[in-house]
Each structure stands twice: as C-alpha cells, then as structure tokens.
C-alpha cells in the first residue's frame, strides 16, 4: 500500500523532531524510529489505528507513536499521512 505524506504532516514531523533534538537527541531518534515502524505496520494493516474520536469519520484514523498522534486517512490503495501531533495538545 502506498503511503503519501501531506506537506503539513512532513512539516509537523520536522518541527517535532527539531524540538526534541534541541533537548534530547535520543528522544528525537525514538520518535523517528517509531514513526517508521508505525508506517511499516500501517502498510500491512491500514485499519489498525483507531478512528479519530474528535471527527468520527471511518476513514480518518490515528496511531500513537510515543507521545505523538500519527493521523492518517485510508483510501482503497493508499494511506495519506495528515498530521503528526503531540498527543497532549487537543486537535480542536
């Protein structure tokens, strides 16, 4: 299954990694590795994430990576990564 990253999601991940790297390079490495592992899992099991509770749309899902939410949309032949968001901050 193809994985497509929205530019906003790329920017989110880059910002989170830069922030973490400023005080804990190990934490940044763990997040990067965790995102890679989550993407590999989603390629095999795209519906394994839970439906995002704020939006309750069956095609909008999330998986937790450390203290971050990886939010994605499922399509018949692809996964669209929409956001990488700190889980402590509400999306609304």
Give me the domains of the chain, ranges plus CATH numbers. Answer: 2-86 (3.30.2310.20)
Instruction: Please give the pLDDT value at position 90.
Output: 57
Using the predicted structure, report yes or no on whether residue 92 has a pLDDT greater than 60.
no
User: Rounded to two decimals, what is the model's pTM?
Assistant: 0.88
Q: What is the mean pLDDT of residues 11-22?
A: 95
In the chain, at which residue ranges do the beta strands (DSSP E only) sit? 2-5, 50-51, 60-65, 68-74, 78-86
């Amino acid at each position: 299954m193809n994985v497509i990253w929205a530019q906003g999601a790329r920017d989110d991940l880059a910002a989170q990694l830069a922030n973490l790297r400023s005080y804990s390079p190990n934490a940044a490495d763990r997040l990067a590795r965790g995102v890679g592992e989550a993407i590999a899992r989603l390629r095999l099991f795209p519906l394994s994430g839970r439906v995002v509770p704020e939006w309750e749309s069956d095609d909008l899902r999330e998986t937790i990576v450390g203290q971050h939410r990886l939010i994605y949309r499922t399509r018949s032949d692809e996964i669209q990564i929409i956001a990488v968001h700190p889980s402590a901050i509400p999306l609304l």
